[in-house]
Structure formats: structure tokens, C-alpha cells
A = this chain, B = another copy of it.
Amino acid sequence: MAPKIKDVAKQAGVSVTTVSRVLNGEKYVKDDLKARVKRAIDELGYTPSHIARSLVLKKTNLIGVIVPDITSSFYSTILSTIERTASLNDYNLMVCNILEDTDKELKYLQIFKQMRVDGIIIMHEKFSEEIRELIQSLDIPFLFSSVKPADQQFVSVIIDDYAAAYDATRHLIGLGHSRIGFIGGDMRDVTSGQNRYLGYSNALSDCGIKVEDDYIRFGDYKTQSGYDLMKEILANETRPTAVFAVSDDMAVGAMNGIHDCGLKVPDDLSVIGFDGSQLTEQVRPRLSSMEQPILEMGKVTVDKLLRMIAGNEEEPLNDVILKHKLVVRDSCKAYRDHS
């Protein structure tokens, strides 16, 4: 059995209180006692039980995180910075990888409750009524990151997805394109589904371009779906000359679909992605993308959550809107009409 505080006390010939005091760096301990306790701790290889400590302190230093898919380049990156920021503040993560399994999200939320995590970060917005209720009844600070659920009372750290999609589309239009395809997300997602679609279609309308349903498809943000949908779009009699995909993974899938159809990016079609994941630099041609400030987003999320946990009354409970940024690489080209 691992040594306990009592063992240390006995070894050092002091009371458990004194041991506790040196453990927690209190000042009211004479130097010689402090030294004896420290030696005893070393000799025994003692490490305080976080469990016991949590029980009395009512604080676990745990943050629960719900993420749709840790193998996605976007989520693994944001998760990485969340972990880093949390760790620097002595918080640990407990992550739930949903993978389409909505029951799992509910189950994990219950686990978070049992675990008495100090806070929760959610990067998923398509939840059931049951989950919505649970989450609100939890009495644990929570925050959404990179998504904004329809429920206006929930607070998010996010970019303006509508504006970002609008700007991405305008970029394509600015290059002279007018037949612009769209590979969207799930329209049940407000943030990455609806808002990005609206940004796209409104940009078109504002420029007097007709929104062509044949050029529009919706998928699941993954490479395979971008690939399949691109092929569907290419099946049109007159192809678009550019396409906007709402995730880099889908954009890469689209590029592959184009490639496998014997066409070239950007000569035959321009492609623009969304997110700014590392995949943009891993493919050829390198993918232009409407980027989210991923690292900042993760850091800001954790910092804000920690302030909420600390019970900072000053902490405004409204959204934090971060800035998106277009990063031009090699996958888009000006369009010249050859007719």
C-alpha cells in the first residue's frame, strides 16, 4: 500500500496537521520540523492522494472535454492547446470522443458529473433535449468552443462563421469565379452548418450570382465526404470553376475527387477550405483556407473557463468572438472565361 500522511507523520515524529501544512506550503512551521517532514516524505516516497484531497476540498482540478473526433486535424489541434493551457494551470483533462455516438455524449456528461469535474468544454452543438437539460442542471461551469448552439444563453468562444464563409466566397468571386460549388456541413449545426451556408449563399446573392442547388452538397466534415460530394458536383453538365468546402478535411477530399476525375487544381477548379488545420500545408497544391485562430481559441476557452470556475463575478457571460483570417496558398486561381 502506498504510504499515507499518517505514515509520514509517524516517521517524522509530528502530527498529520504539520505534514499537511508543509505539503501545502504554509508558513507557520518551524524550519527544523519542515526539514524532518520533507525527509520523511522522501524516505517513504510519499505522494498525497488527490482523491482524498478532492473530497475535502470539493475541487478536482479536472476539466471535462467533449470533442466530436480527435482524429480530425482541427479538433486534435485545438485539443492539444486546450491540454497545454489546462496543464499550465494545474488542471487535467478528461476527454470524451463522441464519434457520432450521441449516447456516448450523454454518458460522459454523467461521468463528468460523477467525477465532479470543475468545468466542462463542449465542442459539439447537435445535442438532444435530454443533454441540454442535463448540462444545465449540472451546476458545473461550462463553455462551448468553436461552436455556438442555437440556445442563446450558452456561452461560446468562436469566430463569426457567417462572416468567415461570406469572406471566403467573396475571395473566390473576387478571383473572377461565378460558378462556385459549396460543400457544406450538417444543416442541423447552426455554426458550421447553417451559418457557413448562409455566408456562402448571401455572398453569391450580394454579387448578383444565382445560388445553384446543383452545385451544393452537405456532408460530415470528413475527407471521404468531401471526396464523394465533389464527384457528385462534378457530374453536372457544366462544372463549377471553384468550390468552397467548410472544413479543410472536406476540401482535401474535394481536391482528391477533382484529381481522380483527371482535372487539376487550381487550373480547372479552385478550391478553398476552412479551419486552417495542418493539412493545408500537407497537401499539394497547398490549400488556401479561411482559418480559425485555433491556438488562440483553445487558450481563450480554457482561460475563460478557469475564470468561471474561480467564480470571478467580473467574468462576462457572453460570447468571445475571435477573428478569422484568409490564408492564400496555391489552390485558387483567377478565372478567365475561355468561351
Contacts and interface: CB of A to CB of B under 8 A. Distances in A.
Interface of A: 2, 45, 47-52, 54-55, 60, 69-71, 73, 76-77, 79-80, 83-84, 87, 92-95, 97, 99, 104, 110-111, 113-116, 137, 139, 223, 249, 252-253, 255-256, 259-260, 278-279, 281-284
B278 A256 contact: no
A92 B92 contact: no
A94 B93 contact: yes
Q: How many copies does the complex hold?
A: 2
Contacts of A99: 80, 84
B282 A252 contact: yes
Contacts of A83: 70, 95, 97
A94 B61 CA distance: 12
Contact of A284 (B76, B92, B259): B259
Contact of A115 (B50, B110, B249): B50
A71 B60 contact: no
A79 B45 CA distance: 31
A278 B84 contact: no
Q: Which 10 A-B pairs have the closest CB atoms?
A: A50-B114, A71-B76, A76-B76, A259-B284, A47-B113, A50-B115, A51-B54, A83-B97, A51-B55, A71-B77
Given A51-B51, A223-B282, A282-B252, A79 B84 contact: no
